[in-house]
Amino acid sequence: MASLKSFASVDRFIAEIASPATLRPAYVLLGDEVFLYDRCRKAVLATLAPEDTRDFCLHDLDLSDTSIFEILDRAQTPSLMAPFQVLFVRNLKTLYGRGSKKEEFAAIDAYFRSPNPQALLLFVADHLRIPTDLRKMDYQDKERFEKIRETLGDWCGFVELARVDENDAIKWVTTTAESRNIKFDPDAARELVDSLGADMMLIASEFEKLLLYVSAPVLSSTSVILIAAKDPEGVRTSSALDTFQPTPSTSTPREAGEPLTKSRVTLGDVETMVLAAKQRSLYELTDAISAKDRPRALLLLHGLLNASDGGEDAAIGHLYMLARTFRQMLIISEKNVRDPRAIWQVLWQGFRMPPFAAEDLIKQARRYKSRRELTRAIRLVARADLELRSSPANKLLVLERLILDLSTEPKPTPYDPTHQFAMEL
């Protein structure tokens, strides 16, 4: 991964800790990119904290529970059970809270003037969010970054755990798959990264799931299927498949016992296995609805149904997601959310959209002029849900009528309480 710019800072860090000549007494891990932090931690453990001595040499400490004086004292004291000590120190922001902290920083300076060569301090500054382009860093984060650099820069190495660039994430997916002898189609890699908002921790998790999916043995056309059926008395009965003779195949012969796998991840695999990729089509549908683009909305509806495993039978699930999306837009509109980062403050855990959809959903919510328009949309979805649960003759017509109603400017009508439908959304 040395050729990927987003991984350069971590790669330099891993190279430095591999040699005593370049190892510094301490490092600051700046940023909240969990995937890169995980790579750093694994490299440190593999290089400096072998498993047989890890219980004696690895210390996970928190500045909110343990004072910096105690941490420095522990780093300075040699261990009788292990030749080297590794100390991960979380909550670095505690050092930059209220008060001057003169005594704390004086103790840090005193330690680093004569550090223990058999100890490594790793300060974790995960309260900072570092974007891919450092020029776009939030002003408050930039101030915090500079303050840490001013106070610890003379003694510590800095490892920037910034957000991974989308193109680098795509390259990581394809090259990592190739290293495992699996072909990852470029359009599939882009869809995976786009649908997860270039969140590397999520990408890595879904990546492993996809590789397991395509690596699972599949049924060969040359396989002989034998079914052993037993009657209640335990006597084997003959099955028609016992005498099944496979049709000769023209495919390349395989060695005995060799598993037959796809060894390739396609766009269809990503759309099948990754929930966020399925949701992308739904947000495109709500975008067309909010823009009152009826032809595009109908096309997207049919595409969504065709891509669903259950087709029209999956309509209830699509309605649930539509209702959920309009409820999210209603809250965004009521709270007047303009910045995607503020969404995490107004939408609770379990009710948030995927990262890639945050900005789009804010834009869609702003197209609605009032709260009444959004509540009308929720009522229309509720009415369609009631119709579908009443076993209509044609589910597709119910869905098409719903999309046309949602994509049409509402006409002023007198309030009619009979239009209220109870529905658990």
Does 347 reside within a domain? yes
Identify the pLDDT of residue 413.
Answer: 59
User: Which one-letter DSSP state was computed for residue 53?
Assistant: G
Identify the pLDDT of residue 307.
Answer: 65
Collapsing DSSP to helix, strand or coil, 237 comes out as strand
Does 238 reside within a domain? no
Does 232 reside within a domain? no
Task: Indicate if 41 and 63 belong to the same structural domain.
Answer: yes
Domain count, the chain: 3
Does 292 reside within a domain? yes
Task: Indicate if 116 and 188 belong to the same structural domain.
Answer: no
Dist CA 423 CA 406 (whole Å): 18
Tally Cβ neighbours within 10 Å of residue 325: 25
The DSSP result for 291-341, as a single string, is: TT-HHHHHHHHHHHHHHSTTGGGGHHHHHHHHHHHHHHHHHHHHTT--SGG
| Pure H helices in 335-370 | 343-346, 358-366
pTM over 0.95: no
Task: Indicate if 412 and 331 belong to the same structural domain.
Answer: yes
Q: Are 338 and 361 in contact (CB under 8 A)?
A: no
Identify the pLDDT of residue 122.
Answer: 95
The CATH number that applies at residue 208 is 1.10.8.60
Task: Indicate if 23 and 85 belong to the same structural domain.
Answer: yes
Dist CA 192 CA 202 (whole Å): 10
Task: Indicate if 47 and 115 belong to the same structural domain.
Answer: yes
Task: Indicate if 66 and 197 belong to the same structural domain.
Answer: no
Q: Are 360 and 329 in contact (CB under 8 A)?
A: no
Domain boundary among 273, 304, 321: 273
User: Which one-letter DSSP state was computed for residue 132?
Assistant: S
Identify the pLDDT of residue 310.
Answer: 55
Task: Indicate if 269 and 283 belong to the same structural domain.
Answer: no
The CATH number that applies at residue 282 is 1.20.272.10
Q: Which long-range contacts (CB under 8 A, 24 or more apart) does 285-289 make?
A: 285/322, 285/403, 286/322, 286/325, 286/326, 286/329, 286/361, 286/364, 287/360, 287/364, 288/407, 289/377, 289/403, 289/406, 289/407
Tens-digit pLDDT string for the chain (425 aa): 446 888 999 999 999 999 989 999 999 999 988 999 999 999 999 999 888 888 888 999 999 899 999 999 999 988 888 889 999 999 999 988 777 788 999 999 999 999 999 999 999 998 888 888 878 888 888 999 999 999 998 899 999 999 899 899 999 999 999 999 999 999 989 888 887 777 888 889 889 989 988 887 654 444 434 334 444 444 444 443 343 344 443 334 444 444 455 688 988 888 777 766 666 778 889 999 999 999 999 988 888 787 665 556 667 878 888 998 999 999 999 999 988 878 878 887 668 777 778 888 999 999 998 999 999 999 999 999 999 888 888 889 999 999 999 999 887 655 555 445 444 44
Task: Indicate if 43 and 140 belong to the same structural domain.
Answer: yes
Does 405 reside within a domain? yes
Identify the pLDDT of residue 349.
Answer: 66
Dihedral angle of Cα 245, 246, 252, 253, to the nearest 10 degrees: -30
User: Which one-letter DSSP state was computed for residue 130?
Assistant: -
Task: Indicate if 30 and 147 belong to the same structural domain.
Answer: yes
**Cα angle for residues 189, 14, 110 (degrees, 5° grid):** 135
Does 424 reside within a domain? no
State the sign of the Cα–Cα–Cα–Cα dihedral 48, 52, 55, 56: negative
Q: Which two tokens stand for residue 211?
A: 């590789």
The DSSP result for 154-223, as a single string, is: TT-EEEE-PPPPHHHHHHHHHHHHHHTT-EE-HHHHHHHHHHTTT-HHHHHHHHHHHHHHHHS----TTP
Task: Indicate if 345 and 391 belong to the same structural domain.
Answer: yes
The residues facing 30 across adjacent strands are 125, 160
Does 248 reside within a domain? no
User: Which one-letter DSSP state was computed for residue 56?
Assistant: H
Tally Cβ neighbours within 10 Å of residue 20: 8
The CATH number that applies at residue 72 is 3.40.50.300
Domain boundary among 273, 295, 317: 273
Domain boundary among 273, 299, 319: 273
Task: Indicate if 9 and 106 belong to the same structural domain.
Answer: yes
Q: Containing domain of residue 290, as a range?
A: 276-419
Task: Indicate if 21 and 109 belong to the same structural domain.
Answer: yes
Look at residues 322, 323, 319 and name the one whose alpha carbon lies nearest to residue 385.
319
Identify the pLDDT of residue 218.
Answer: 54
Does 392 reside within a domain? yes
